[in-house]
Amino acid sequence: MSRSRISQVVVTPVAFGDPPLLNVVGVHQPYALRAIVEVHTDSGLLGLGETYADEAHLARLSAVAEVLPGHDPYDLHGLRRLVTDVLGRETGGGGASFGGMLDVDSAVDTVYSPFEVACLDLQGHEAGVPVSDLLGGAVRDRVPFSGYLFHKWAGHPGLPDDAWGEALTPDQLVTQARRMVDGWGFGSLKLKGGVFHPDRECEAIEALRDTFPDLPLRLDPNGAWTPSTSLRAADRLAGVVEYLEDPTPGIRGMAEVAAGTDVPLATNMCVIAMEHLPPAIAQGAVQVVLSDHHLWGGLKKSALLGGITDVWGLGLSMHSNSHLGVSLAAMVHLAAATPNLTYACDTHYPWKTEDVITDGVLSFEGGSVAVPTTPGLGVTLDRDRLGELHEQYLSCGVRRREDTVYMRSIHPDFEVNTSRW
Amino acid sequence: MSRSRISQVVVTPVAFGDPPLLNVVGVHQPYALRAIVEVHTDSGLLGLGETYADEAHLARLSAVAEVLPGHDPYDLHGLRRLVTDVLGRETGGGGASFGGMLDVDSAVDTVYSPFEVACLDLQGHEAGVPVSDLLGGAVRDRVPFSGYLFHKWAGHPGLPDDAWGEALTPDQLVTQARRMVDGWGFGSLKLKGGVFHPDRECEAIEALRDTFPDLPLRLDPNGAWTPSTSLRAADRLAGVVEYLEDPTPGIRGMAEVAAGTDVPLATNMCVIAMEHLPPAIAQGAVQVVLSDHHLWGGLKKSALLGGITDVWGLGLSMHSNSHLGVSLAAMVHLAAATPNLTYACDTHYPWKTEDVITDGVLSFEGGSVAVPTTPGLGVTLDRDRLGELHEQYLSCGVRRREDTVYMRSIHPDFEVNTSRW
């Protein structure tokens, strides 16, 4: 049996409309960027991946894409070595699309990730099994997601209001939540905080609790608070939130908060790479880690994170940036095949109106997505849509995620809210 | 594409001649036992696994084998759930063939392991790729092993001397090592200790160092020493051994020794399951963990162990019990696909003269075994040999590994050496 080899790799940057969602560093730009990675084999198969699309990241993706032809899609260790070699000494962070919220020491994990996902998609097609099977098999046939609530403006300045409308008050957030729950069936809710004073955000959580007495709630201020403010908020929200995500920045700060409250602390900021686990665990800094295959270096490394959290008795949830359907498919397969991923996953999916995949596979019912059972990721690239979103990328002018820069173009005095309160 | 399902499972206990190798709990019996697990699919494929064959373990294997037909070989999470369900409350250790040296809290990992290996063998056959590819790809095309030296009698009492002859003195061990190195090409050596006074075993290591100045050396007293004796020995052997394996029992004892020496401490006794990692790491008890897919719950869980040791900066080596070719194949695939497994692996393979697989695939050259590149494990069951070794199992009378019982049948006053010196 002759082994198939990678014959061609295409990286296509795309842009899709994104509402003015507010966060600790500013506001989402009118367009979110993603890169769609196509990995073709000489046997005629196509594997898909999706990742960030900041210019620096695109340059790294292209450099890897160039040397991939001839590589065996099963050789993931070799792929990682290849990415490491290509990036060479140039492994600084900042290329990934975190809008200034995160910094990783090395770009290897984020650059490797979409190629790994595409190779697993290929392996699935080759073997005739879904990606979840390559990760040990689905332990659930549907993956639950949480409704992701944002403070937001009615629309981008200078553009018509979007369909969601303004959400700056607790009441408006409740209306947004109602729409999420009614339209998508979400069985839990997450509020992106760090935008207003902690009291106001706690008030919003309490308003959500009153309106949805049975839904688990999460609040994520993205490190906007000091440890003492975090402790006061934890006291106020004890028994109300299932976890508090990154109330304060850094492992040390989180450990200080964790020592003073029984409210579980989650993170996607102070533990975002394997090397953060030993100090975070030693200091008891967090009780729930958010996985994210884009950030943690692919699906297999995210499965390793799942195993580690299981061994150390930590909770496991899943983080999301603005994303399209290829990422959603990968997230669903990973979540389905991770036994201890018992929290509903985050997703920005409801906030977008465009995609690059064919409709019909990944639909939300009761807040969850059925795990595709066809080979690979189970999603199909719609080339017309890909072309349109690429054209949009070319014409929209956005080249990197810059929430703070965009916010300051509207409110010149805006200061990032990290540890502000 | 219709998915293949498990149609039949056959568990065959076998016995093969084993020399009188001495250790902390006694001496190897004339026959070592293994169970060969065949997992057949309705698509006509056969997957192989190999494990211990104590009676209690065989009973558990049979109970699982009975319920496996109909299961999907890709559904490893489901397989584990099934094993857990079948074993139910009866998860006590003691079934596995450790001769009294180890105890595990749960039999799930050891019972699950051979079925998982057989399912991965099947997946490899199904997809047309070697098992190493299912584990992320081989990072090395040959896997180096260490020559495993034992104190031993010339032969089993009442039977003719074996081909290796007596090894009770440092000189005799050097002769044994010479034979291992000349015959198999081993590039490193391990001495099983815990049999004689620590001074004599240190002397043996020093004699090996004099004779083989360039070979890395290991000494494994299997917990025969107190912490203070361990520290004295570590002092004597600093710069001579690459690591000292389980000088003293228990995480606490090992931590005490580790705090007082720079000689790396390895273990296959105090860290033999995932739940031992957090306390061992927190206490700094060990620097090298020995993986063993039979004990740790299969190849994927051993890969998880590899990932964990990598994240925490621990060394990784590989343990061996007396085993046959199916196990060796699995060990080779696992080792090949584990990037941070940089120590030569242990193996008892040179000590046996019989096998159940067809010759020619797993041959030692320069102390290493080439990773099979054919689908699955890459080894073929020889049904004549399997039949002969099963007949030998039926006729030999050994039903469980009992090093101490056998030793006492010869030396009635023998006491287990744990913490003796």
pLDDT at A92 (0 to 100)? 53
Q: What is the spatial distance between Cα A133 and Cα A113, in angstroms, rounded to a whole number? A: 18
User: B-side interface with A, Cβ within 8 Å?
Assistant: 1, 3, 72, 74-78, 81, 123, 126-129, 133-134, 136-139, 274-275, 277-278, 281-282, 300-301, 304, 307-308, 310-313, 337, 339, 375
CA distance to partner chain A, nearest, from residue B295 (Å) = 16
Q: Which residues of chain B have a CB within 8 Å of the CB of A127?
A: 123, 126-127
pLDDT at B232 (0 to 100)? 98
Nearest residue of A to residue B130, measured between CA atoms: A74
- Flag if A311 and B123 touch (Cβ within 8 Å): no
CATH of A6-132+382-410, one of 3.30.390.10, 3.50.50.60, 3.40.50.300, 2.40.50.140: 3.30.390.10
pLDDT at A93 (0 to 100)? 55
Q: What is the mean pLDDT of residues B100-112?
A: 86
pLDDT at B104 (0 to 100)? 78
* Number of Cα atoms under 13 Å in the Cβ half of residue A216: 17
State what percent of residues in chain A have pLDDT above 70: 97
Of A126, A138, A313, the CB nearest to B127: A126
Sign of CA dihedral A284, A290, A294, A298: positive
Q: What is the spatial distance between Cα A130 and Cα A336, in angstroms, rounded to a whole number? A: 11
CA distance to partner chain A, nearest, from residue B128 (Å) = 7
Q: Which residues of chain A have a CB within 8 Å of the CB of B301?
A: 307
- Flag if A123 and B127 touch (Cβ within 8 Å): yes
Nearest residue of B to residue A283, measured between CA atoms: B282
pLDDT at B92 (0 to 100)? 53
CA distance to partner chain B, nearest, from residue A307 (Å) = 7
Nearest residue of A to residue B124, measured between CA atoms: A127
pLDDT of A320 above 70: yes
Tokens of B45: 């494929």
pLDDT of B1 above 90: no
CA distance to partner chain A, nearest, from residue B50 (Å) = 20
Q: Which residues of chain B have a CB within 8 Å of the CB of A136?
A: 75-77, 300
Helix (H, G, I), strand (E, B) or coil at B296: helix
- Flag if B304 and A300 touch (Cβ within 8 Å): no
- Flag if A274 and B311 touch (Cβ within 8 Å): yes
Q: What are phi and psi of B13, to 5 degrees?
A: -75, 140
CA distance to partner chain B, nearest, from residue A367 (Å) = 24
Place of tokens 């004699």: B207
State what percent of residues in chain B have pLDDT above 90: 95
pLDDT of B95 above 60: no
Catalytic annotation, pick one of B319, B323, B333, B348: B319
CB-based contacts of B379, cutoff 8 Å, min separation 6: B48, B325, B326, B329, B357, B358, B361, B362, B372
pLDDT at B8 (0 to 100)? 98
Of A76, A137, A301, the CB nearest to B75: A137
Tokens of B207: 């004699």
Of A137, A301, A307, the CB nearest to B76: A137
Q: Which residues of chain A have a CB within 8 Å of the CB of B139?
A: 77-78, 81
Q: Which residues of chain B have a CB within 8 Å of the CB of A300?
A: 136
Nearest residue of B to residue A274, measured between CA atoms: B311
CA distance to partner chain A, nearest, from residue B294 (Å) = 18
pLDDT at A170 (0 to 100)? 98
Of B126, B136, B282, the CB nearest to A127: B126
Tell me if the domain spanning A136-370 has CATH number 3.20.20.120: yes
Cα B353 off chain centre by = 17
Using alpha carbons, list the distances in angstroms from residue A140 to A215, A298, A373.
20, 20, 12
Cα B398 off chain centre by = 20
Among A187, A103, A192, A198, which residue's Cα sits nearest to residue A142? Answer: A187
- Flag if A133 and B337 touch (Cβ within 8 Å): no
Residue B269 corresponds to which amino acid? M
pLDDT digits (tens, 9 = 90+) for A48-105: 999 999 999 999 999 999 999 999 999 999 999 999 999 985 555 555 667 777 777 7
Nearest residue of B to residue A301, measured between CA atoms: B307
Is B192 one of the catalytic residues?
yes
Q: What is the spatial distance between Cα B25 and Cα B148, in angstroms, rounded to a whole number? A: 18
Cα B283 off chain centre by = 26
Between CA B188 and CA B190, with CA B189 as vertex, the angle to 5 degrees is 135
Domain residue ranges of chain A, discontinuous segments joined by +: 6-132+382-410, 136-370
The DSSP annotation for B240-263 comes to: T-SEEE-SSSSHHHHHHHHTT-SS
Q: How many CB atoms lie within 10 A of CB A197?
A: 12
Mutation for testing the A interface, residue in B109, B117, B133, B314 having most A CBs under 10 Å: B133
pLDDT of A1 above 90: no
Place of tokens 């000189």: B171
Residue A357 and residue A325 in contact, taking contact as beta carbons nearer than 8 Å = yes
Q: What are phi and psi of A315, to 5 degrees?
A: -75, 160
Among A34, A130, A136, A2, which residue's Cα sits nearest to residue A349? Answer: A34
pLDDT at B103 (0 to 100)? 75
Nearest residue of B to residue A124, measured between CA atoms: B127
pLDDT at A95 (0 to 100)? 52
- Flag if A139 and B78 touch (Cβ within 8 Å): yes
Q: What is the mean pLDDT of residues A320-326?
A: 97
Of the pLDDT bands very low, low, confident and very high (cuts 50, 70, 90), residue B3 is confident
pLDDT at B96 (0 to 100)? 61
CA distance to partner chain A, nearest, from residue B135 (Å) = 9
Residues of A with active-site annotation:
192, 319
- Flag if A1 and B375 touch (Cβ within 8 Å): yes
Same fold, A6-132+382-410 and A136-370: no
Residue A267 and residue A252 in contact, taking contact as beta carbons nearer than 8 Å = no
pLDDT at B97 (0 to 100)? 62
Of the pLDDT bands very low, low, confident and very high (cuts 50, 70, 90), residue B132 is very high
Q: What is the spatial distance between Cα B162 and Cα B149, in angstroms, rounded to a whole number? A: 15
Among A421, A393, A409, which residue's Cα sits nearest to residue A26? Answer: A409
Q: Of B97-111, B168-182, B200-214, which gets the smallest average pLDDT?
A: B97-111
pLDDT of B57 above 80: yes
Q: Is the pTM of this model over 0.95?
A: yes
Q: Which residues of chain B have a CB within 8 Å of the CB of A123?
A: 127
Q: What is the spatial distance between Cα A3 and Cα A96, in angstroms, rounded to a whole number? A: 33
Q: Which residues of chain A have a CB within 8 Å of the CB of B133?
A: 72, 74-75
- Flag if B307 and A307 touch (Cβ within 8 Å): yes
CA distance to partner chain A, nearest, from residue B272 (Å) = 13
CB-based contacts of A169, cutoff 8 Å, min separation 6: A204
CA distance to partner chain A, nearest, from residue B377 (Å) = 16
pLDDT digits (tens, 9 = 90+) for A260-290: 999 999 999 999 999 999 999 999 999 999 9
pLDDT digits (tens, 9 = 90+) for A5-64: 999 999 999 999 999 999 999 999 999 999 999 999 999 999 999 999 999 999 999 999
Nearest residue of A to residue B304, measured between CA atoms: A304
H, E, C per residue of B83-98: HHHHHCCCCCCCCCCC
- Flag if A282 and B277 touch (Cβ within 8 Å): no
Of A278, A310, A375, the CB nearest to B311: A278
Nearest residue of A to residue B136, measured between CA atoms: A76
Of the pLDDT bands very low, low, confident and very high (cuts 50, 70, 90), residue B94 is low
- Flag if A74 and B277 touch (Cβ within 8 Å): no
Catalytic annotation, pick one of B71, B125, B190, B192: B192
Q: What is the mean pLDDT of residues A201-215?
A: 98
Q: Which residues of chain B have a CB within 8 Å of the CB of A75?
A: 133, 136-138
Mutation for testing the B interface, residue in A77, A83, A133 having most B CBs under 10 Å: A77
Mutation for testing the A interface, residue in B5, B41, B74, B276 having most A CBs under 10 Å: B74
pLDDT at B339 (0 to 100)? 98
Q: What is the mean pLDDT of residues A374-391?
A: 98
Nearest residue of A to residue B339, measured between CA atoms: A77
Tokens of A247: 């109330």
* Distant-in-sequence contacts of B97-100, Cβ < 8 A, 24+ apart: B97/B33, B97/B52, B97/B53, B97/B54, B97/B57, B97/B321, B97/B400, B97/B401, B98/B321, B98/B401, B99/B23, B99/B25, B99/B26, B99/B28, B99/B401, B99/B402, B99/B403, B99/B404, B100/B25, B100/B26, B100/B402, B100/B403, B100/B404, B100/B416
Q: Which residues of chain B have a CB within 8 Å of the CB of A281?
A: 278
Tokens of A181: 């729950």
pLDDT digits (tens, 9 = 90+) for B315-364: 999 999 999 999 999 999 999 999 999 999 999 999 999 999 999 999 99
Q: Which residues of chain B have a CB within 8 Å of the CB of A274?
A: 310-311
State what percent of residues in chain A have pLDDT above 90: 95
